[in-house]
């Protein structure tokens, strides 16, 4: 297990956990339910989302074998049948509105076993979830070719005109009935919305009108694959032709190793509504040229061109040195749709070299790091607030609309708050425009603590601002609260004076700070003052209004100070 874990790490994968079906069930549902489940060891392996070729056992094993230099990368070959003998898939123009693209291929004389068959189905499921975006972009159908006769037609018809026996069902249904049938199906109901409200549903027929499938929902029962299936017809329909080609390439390259002639695929001719034809699968090999020094520079190593070529070949990218050793010619196989740019090749070279083998070096550019002035000021103020006997709280940046509006006696439109479009819970609907609700909620949660409670927080608040590129702006606020049997306004006022003292702001109008009587909806009338400093209003202090206190489920009076500290940076 440890060796395999090590191998996965070297190959750029992660062995997530080693478990068994029994373990999984007992963890989720308890030991009772797990009785009789299998003890076979299962490896849970994390595969990067771009490596579709590692999503099944066949591809993973092949990739690791090539990486360990035990085998050479197989060469995939498409066989184009003689004129008139191959299969054809005809696309009609009715499909243009719904799923305009289709590609197909045939695996001849394949031998399935239980494990291979399970892996075959599993791979389709993983591709559906991943590159196919839950079947929205591509839907895969695999059929027993010996039960049907070509040519095949991909068309779209009104739901009432489509009638067939869906996979693993006992009777025929029309397309509309099938939709109703699967509305409660835990697995298939997630795909119904893709075509549900369309006037026509996509469907694939053979020459005799047998339904192969109604993509992206379900295959017909007539063509279902069993362990005895020898010839498999694979069709991928979708809204994205590039993804459809990739999906088809992955499936045929993974499972053609079980054909009588390994790694060969029989091509299918696809006929478009305009009469043009194309042969699929493309199984395209292409070559890219990369400079060895480019790879060395980007990764931070100094390998010879020939050893880089060897590293890339181990990653299934067959490479050799050309032109006096100043170029690498890299062949990209059809399994590696993730290689789009030279940097993808560089990444593979780095994986094969081993991230742990790359020497750490001090960067060539020297820069002196410094703390952001605003954060430095925040740190200093936090120390002084703590020294003044206040305890720091850290509360959520998101809160409910009531917290910043109704409970503080304001209207939500007046707060200028940034709203979350699709909040998951009522607690997290808007970004806070004031730190006060967070501290009041903290006190409500700590009512059993001995009085007085003295809390503070220095954090960001968010308000809408049409003048910024993102439409909102953050301000760093300081909020302190004193909660006791008496309001303690003098304590909060004293704290303000102390903060100004440590900021070296004198108490005068010219270049210092002053406080003036004001009104605020959250404050007790006549017990609220506005703080002015640096020629601007920076916040308020005062005794909290009894209504606000009750709305936050508190019972004692409290006074509070909230100011913006950015002018003091």
DSSP labels, 379-394: HHHHHHHHHTTPEE--
d(CA 341, CA 163): 46
Please check whether residue 59 lies inside any domain of the structure. Answer: no
Looking at residue 534, what is its pLDDT? 84
Tokens 């053979």: give the residue: 206
Last residue of a domain, one of 280, 303, 331: 280
Q: What is the DSSP letter of 146?
A: G
Confidence grade of residue 361 (pLDDT, cut at 50, 70, 90): confident
Q: What is the DSSP string of 48-109?
A: -TT-GGGSSHHHHHHHHHHHTTSSPPPPPEEE-PPTTTSEEEEEPGGGGGT--EEEEEEE-S
pLDDT band at 83, cuts 50/70/90?
confident
The reply to whether 271 and 326 lie within a common domain is no
d(CA 347, CA 500): 54
Please check whether residue 72 lies inside any domain of the structure.
Answer: no
Residue 443 pLDDT greater than 80, yes or no: yes
Categorize the per-residue pLDDT at 321 as very low, low, confident or very high, splitting at 50, 70 and 90.
very high
pLDDT band at 458 (very low <50, low <70, confident <90, very high): very high
Q: Are residues 300 and 352 in the same domain?
A: yes
- Across the range 48-55, mean pLDDT stands at 90
Boundary residue ending a domain (258, 280, 302)? 280
Supply the range of the domain harboring residue 435.
373-568
Q: Which stretches does DSSP call E strand in 434-522?
A: 453-464, 472-483, 513-517
Percent of the chain having pLDDT more than 70?
A: 100
Categorize the per-residue pLDDT at 241 as very low, low, confident or very high, splitting at 50, 70 and 90.
Answer: very high
The whole-chain average pLDDT of the chain stands at: 91
Say if residues 273 and 92 touch (Cβ distance below 8 Å): yes
Tokens coding 205: 């027929």
Residue 266 and residue 301 share a domain: no
pLDDT at 260 over 90: yes
Collapse the DSSP code of 110 into the 3-class scheme (helix H, G, I; strand E, B; otherwise coil) and give the result: strand
Does residue 62 sit within a domain?
no
Asked if residue 67 is part of any domain, the answer here is: no
What is the Cα–Cα distance from 457 to 480, expressed in whole angstroms? Answer: 7
Q: Would residue 60 count as lying in a domain? A: no
CA atoms within 13 A on the CB side of 25: 12
Residue 143: the pLDDT is 94
Determine what percent of the chain is predicted with pLDDT higher than 90. Answer: 70
Same structural domain for residues 322 and 194? Answer: no
In a domain? residue 365: no
Residue 323 pLDDT level (bands cut at 50, 70, 90): confident
- Taking the C-alpha atoms of residue 456 and residue 392, their distance in angstroms, rounded to an integer, is 5
What's the structural domain count of the chain? 4
CA neighbor of 117 nearest in space, from 245, 217, 232: 232
Phi, psi at residue 5, to the nearest 5°?
Answer: -60, -45
Mean pLDDT score, 535-543: 91
Tens digits of residue pLDDT in 190-237? 899 998 889 999 999 999 999 999 988 999 999 999 999 999 999 999
pLDDT range class, residue 560, cuts 50, 70, 90: very high
Read off the pLDDT band of 368 (50, 70, 90): confident
Q: Examine residue 490 and state whether it is found in any structural domain, yes or no.
A: yes
What is the pLDDT, as a whole number, of residue 251? 95
Q: Using DSSP bridges, classify how beta strands 513-517 and 472-483 pair: parallel, antiparallel or unpaired.
A: unpaired
Question: Within this chain, do residues 353 and 205 fall inside the same structural domain, yes or no?
Answer: no
Q: Does the pLDDT at position 409 exceed 90?
A: no
Q: Report, as an integer, the average pLDDT of 74-87.
A: 90
Strands 264-271 and 87-91: parallel
Q: Is the pLDDT of residue 35 over 80?
A: no
Position 498 pLDDT exceeds 80: yes
- Does residue 507 register a pLDDT over 90? no
Q: Do the domain assignments include residue 367?
A: no
What pLDDT score was predicted for residue 207?
92
pLDDT of 292:
93
Task: Tell whether 455 and 538 lie within a shared domain.
Answer: yes
- Beta-strand ranges (E) seen in 209-326 are 211-214, 218-219, 232-238, 264-271, 277-280, 286-290, 318-322
DSSP annotation of 418:
P
Model pLDDT, residue 535: 84
Beta strands in 101-193 (DSSP E): 101-107, 138-144, 152-157, 163-164, 173-174
pLDDT tens for residues 93-130?
999 988 999 999 999 999 999 999 999 999 999 999 99
**Among the ranges given (22-31, 164-173, 208-217, 293-302), the one the predictor scored with the smallest mean pLDDT:** 22-31
CATH number at residue 390: 3.30.930.10
Are residue 118 and residue 13 in the same domain, yes or no?
A: no
The residue ranking higher by pLDDT, 324 or 484, is 484
- Token pair recorded at residue 408: 């503080």
**Is the pLDDT score of 29 beyond 80?**
no
What is the pLDDT at residue 312? 93
Is the pLDDT at 475 greater than 90, yes or no?
Answer: yes
Average pLDDT of span 163-168: 91
Q: Mean pLDDT throughout 463-470?
A: 91
Q: Are residues 105 and 185 in the same domain?
A: yes
Evaluate if pTM is beyond 0.85. no
Together in a domain, 204 and 124: yes
| Count of positions (residues) in the chain | 569
**Per-residue model confidence (pLDDT) at position 59:** 93
pLDDT value for 265: 95
- Max alpha carbon distance in the chain (Å)? 98
What is the reported pLDDT for 204?
A: 94
pLDDT at 37 over 80: no
Residues 270 and 305 occupy one common structural domain: no
CB atoms within 10 A of CB 126: 16
Instruction: Inform me whether the pLDDT recorded for 30 exceeds 80.
Output: no
136 & 167 share domain: yes
**Of 297, 332, 357, at which residue does a domain stop?**
357
Identify the CA nearest to 423 among candidates 447, 402, 392, 444.
Answer: 402
Check pLDDT > 90 for residue 156: yes
> Which of 1, 77, 8 lies closest to 42 in space, CA to CA?
1
**pLDDT for res 320:** 92
Mean pLDDT of 54-63: 92
Q: What pLDDT band is residue 242 in, cutting at 50, 70 and 90?
A: very high
Q: Do the Cβ atoms of 350 and 311 come closer than 8 Å?
A: no
Q: Give the CATH number of the domain where residue 135 resides.
A: 3.50.40.10
CATH code of the domain containing 11: 3.30.56.10
Same-domain status, 562 and 428:
yes
> Is 262 a residue whose pLDDT tops 90?
yes
């Amino acid at each position: 297990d440890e060796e395999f874990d090590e191998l996965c790490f070297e190959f750029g994968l992660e062995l997530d956990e080693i478990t068994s079906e029994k373990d999984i069930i007992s963890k989720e549902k308890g030991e009772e339910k797990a009785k009789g489940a299998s003890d076979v060891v299962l490896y849970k392996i994390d595969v990067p989302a771009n490596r579709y070729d590692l999503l099944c056992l066949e591809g993973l094993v092949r990739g690791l074998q090539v990486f360990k230099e035990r085998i050479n990368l197989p060469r995939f070959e498409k066989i184009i049948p003689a004129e008139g003998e191959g299969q054809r898939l005809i696309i009609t123009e009715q499909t243009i509105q719904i799923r305009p693209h289709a590609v197909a291929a045939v695996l001849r004389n394949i031998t399935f076993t239980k494990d291979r068959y399970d892996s075959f189905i599993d791979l389709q499921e993983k591709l559906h979830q991943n590159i196919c975006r839950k079947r929205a972009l591509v839907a895969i159908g695999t059929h027993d070719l010996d039960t049907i006769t070509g040519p095949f037609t991909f068309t779209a018809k009104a739901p009432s005109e489509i009638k067939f026996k869906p996979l693993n069902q006992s009777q025929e249904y029309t397309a509309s009935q099938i939709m109703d049938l699967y509305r409660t199906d835990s697995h298939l109901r997630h795909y119904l919305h893709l075509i549900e409200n369309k006037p026509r549903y996509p469907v694939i027929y053979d020459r005799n009108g047998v339904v192969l499938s109604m993509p992206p929902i379900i295959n017909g029962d007539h063509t279902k694959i069993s362990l005895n299936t020898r010839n498999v017809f694979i069709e991928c329909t979708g809204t994205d032709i590039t993804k459809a080609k990739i999906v088809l390439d992955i499936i045929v390259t993974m499972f053609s190793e079980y054909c009588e002639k390994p790694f060969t695929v029989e091509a299918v001719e696809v006929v478009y509504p305009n009469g043009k034809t194309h042969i699929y699968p493309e199984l395209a090999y292409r070559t890219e040229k990369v400079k060895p020094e480019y790879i060395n520079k980007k990764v931070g190593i100094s390998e010879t061109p020939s050893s880089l070529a060897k590293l890339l070949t181990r990653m299934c990218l067959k490479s050799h040195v050309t032109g006096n050793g100043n170029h690498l010619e890299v062949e990209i196989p059809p399994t590696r749709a993730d290689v789009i740019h030279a940097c993808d090749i560089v990444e593979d070279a780095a994986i094969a070299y081993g991230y742990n083998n790359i020497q750490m070096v001090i960067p060539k550019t020297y820069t002196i790091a410094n703390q952001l002035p605003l954060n430095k000021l925040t740190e200093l103020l936090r120390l002084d607030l703590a020294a003044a006997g206040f305890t720091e709280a850290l509360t959520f940046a998101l809160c409910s609309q009531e917290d910043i509006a109704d409970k503080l006696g304001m209207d939500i439109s007046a707060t200028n708050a940034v709203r979350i479009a699709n909040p998951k819970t009522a607690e997290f609907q808007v970004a806070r425009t004031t730190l006060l609700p967070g501290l009041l909620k903290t006190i409500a949660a700590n009512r059993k603590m001995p009085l007085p409670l003295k809390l503070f927080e220095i954090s960001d608040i968010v308000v809408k601002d049409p003048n910024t590129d993102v439409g909102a702006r953050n301000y760093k606020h300081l909020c302190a609260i004193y909660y006791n049997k008496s309001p303690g306004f003098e304590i909060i006022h004293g704290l303000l004076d102390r903060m100004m003292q440590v900021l070296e702001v004198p108490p005068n109008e010219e270049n210092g700070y002053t406080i003036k009587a004001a009104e605020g909806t959250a404050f007790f009338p006549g017990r609220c003052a506005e703080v002015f400093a640096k020629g601007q209003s920076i916040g308020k202090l005062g005794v909290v209004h009894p209504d606000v206190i009750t709305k936050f489920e508190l019972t004692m009076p409290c006074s509070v100070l909230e100011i913006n500290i950015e002018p003091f940076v």
